[in-house]
Chains A and B, each alone.
Chain A
Amino acid sequence: MQNWIEFERNTRPSDPIERGPGDDGDSGGPSRPKVERPDTRDLLKRMRRVDPNQARRYRQRTGE
């Protein structure tokens, strides 16, 4: 019989949640996360580390 692996339950602190239905029965649409848009410098720094040629090398087969 197969042995099943226990995964770690959580790995990160909770992120802010914008939940729709539920606790208060509110049925409104999405709202923006209640945080200021951060400086994009960190984001751009991360994007510069992405290998410019990774898409060129990324080859897959057609899926079903």
Chain B
Amino acid sequence: MSNIIAIKNLKLDLITARGVVHAVRDINMNVKHGEIHGVVGESGCGKSMTAKAILRLHDEKKLLYSGSILYEDDKDIFNMTEKELQNLRGKEVAMIFQDPITTLNPLLTIGQQLSEVLTLHLKLSKKEAKKRSIELLESVEIHPGAERYEQYPFEMSGGMLQRVIIAMAIACNPKIIIADEPTTALDVTMQAQVLDLIKELRDKHNMAVMIITHNFGVVAEICDTVSVMYAGKIVETGEVSEIFHNPKHPYTQDLIKSIPKSGSTEKRLVAIPGSPPDLRYNIEGCPYASRCTYATEACEKAEPKLIKLSDTHAYTCIRN
């Protein structure tokens, strides 16, 4: 299986009023066809920036980038013309954002918004688009589709809206969906349902999914492979069972340890001391050194190496 998205040596610098932020510092990430790839990390690690860069959604007057993002192994997204990008966005590469309420236009019915995607990309007639939209709504378990088609976003719950957005995303049978924190704004009972829906759709259409999240529960629920990000770098990648059962990078280990688990008698959680580094400055050595339990002096000077444990599992560290 080849890669649908191959990110090579990506660097992203964001120009803000407080200085230049080196948000993403040389990362490599691959997503295979039909694979659900999770990108995990805490706020400020660069995961959302990476996701948005794939569709070049950033304001390029404020962004500096280097490296390449290859689509289907040979087309570099950074070299595409605006027209080629329009063809990609919403049609072959779809994106879902965190808050369903602000993603949808409150003044249009969801039917109108759903049909719009179809008439724009698939050039369907209005009638055909309506028919297809209702089918799509029912495919994401929104019944009765015809009735909901006429409703406005404010008439529906968060979970339902997110499913509408998923319907919009799969409308043109994309090859990959990028989901940026798709369940964070939803109630607990809705979260699992939405994730199951995404998995089902992947199974049906062999669609790849890149899920950005800070929640390991989401990762355990549906991901096949995982990349763990910290301070703009990928510190560990692997299959989901490898990451959960044999995490190698200290940050991955610490992060998993700090999650409250049911049935544990120890009330105190293992917290990670300190805070992430300021990304406005260049970091020498390993970015996690100041908080790592195994850190030595060498960690703050030398670049951590990439250690490959298997075909799928790799992490960066200078220890062995």
A binds B: no
| Chain B residues in the interface with A (C-beta under 8 A) | none
| Chain A residues in the interface with B (C-beta under 8 A) | none
